[in-house]
Amino acid sequence: MRIGYIQMNPIFGAVKENLAHVKLLMEGAQAELWVLPELFSTGYQFRTGEEAAGLAEPIPNGPTVRSLLEIAGQRGCWIVAGLVEIGPDGRLYNAAVLVGPDGIVTRYRKAHLFYKEKLWFATGNEPFPVVDAGPARVGMMLCFDHLFPEAARTLALAGADVIAHPANLVIPEYGQLTMRVRAIENGVFTVTANRIGTENRDSETLRFTGESQIVSPTGEVIAKAPRDQEEVQVVEVDPAKARDKSLNQYNDRFTDRRPELYRI
Ligand code: ACM
């Protein structure tokens, strides 16, 4: 299975342009599963809740998901991507969707909000999803969820072979390092699609750290983007490699767990 990331520099508020840019970037490569950054169609640094609401869209009937569905249908692929969702009750969520050639497959609402996201977004309260996407079982989490090992563990225990991780990481090296550990401890592939560039729409400048990566179940970084350039990368993987959790003839990542001793 060919899986890939798109590392890009979204233009704040320019949904149409960002969608057109992603379409163009994808034309240079073929993959069955693509992962795009968190909030890739809007940018990240909102000034107010009203501004975030003005860029929010319902799922699936908004411009971002419609455009992703069109691309997935035309290219016969699956796409995981982050966007601002407005729910039926008017609440805003930092969300991700997984769309496929036959329509929308599932949605995820970020469970661990980072920094000022807490000012605009409601906290996601739904389970971490794992769904079939072609030959792989794909789980989703968003950016700062990386710091909470329970998120990736939950996805792995639910059967994820690949963890799709749209991101807008700002702390250098944290997410890239933790996701390597998440891959090793859970024996899964991880695909972190991060963004690059800066936003300074506020009193502070946010610098996004790039270095999108794909990690194998043994922790090998099999693709890695630069810190400050857009990049499209696709690698061939066998998702079934994530189904054997053994380390040697005596140890297995899952059956050796001692949940009765864990106080969480
Ligand atoms: C983040 O969760 N965007 C750091």
- The whole-number pLDDT of residue 35 equals 98
Catalytic residue chosen out of the listed positions 57, 77, 110, 199: 110
Q: Which domains are assigned to the chain?
A: 2-261 (3.60.110.10)
Contact 65, 97 (CB under 8 A): yes
Please choose from 83, 168, 195, 207 the residue to mutate so as to test ligand 1's pocket, defined by most ligand atoms within 8 A of CB.
Answer: 168
Q: In this structure, are strands 198-199 and 206-207 parallel, antiparallel, or unpaired? A: antiparallel
The size of the chain, in residues, is: 264
Residue 144 CB less than 6 A away from ligand 1: yes
Distance CA 137, CA 151 (A): 16
Residues 6 or more apart in contact with residue 263 via CB below 8 angstroms: none
- The whole-number pLDDT of residue 264 equals 74
The 10 Å Cβ neighbour count of residue 127 is 11
Dist. CA 261 → ligand 1 center (Å):
31
CA–CA distances in Å: residue 86 to residues 100, 110, 117, 146, 256? 21, 13, 14, 24, 42
Peptide bond into 60 cis (omega under 30): yes
CA neighbor of 180 nearest in space, from 193, 170, 169, 189: 189
The SS3 call for residue 1 is coil
Backbone angles phi, psi at 22, to 5 degrees: -60, -40
Closest-CA residue, ligand 1 atom 3, reads 168
pTM value?
A: 0.98
Active site residue 241: no
- The whole-number pLDDT of residue 202 equals 86
Dist. CA 84 → ligand 1 center (Å):
14
pLDDT tens digit at each of 264 positions of the chain: 999 999 999 999 999 999 999 999 999 899 999 999 999 999 999 999 999 999 999 999 999 999 999 999 999 999 999 999 999 999 999 999 999 999 999 999 999 999 999 999 999 999 999 999 999 999 999 999 999 999 999 999 999 999 999 999 999 999 999 999 999 999 999 999 999 999 999 889 999 999 999 999 999 999 999 999 999 999 999 999 999 999 999 999 999 999 999 987
Contact 227, 209 (CB under 8 A): yes
Contact 242, 157 (CB under 8 A): no
- The whole-number pLDDT of residue 11 equals 98
- The whole-number pLDDT of residue 263 equals 86
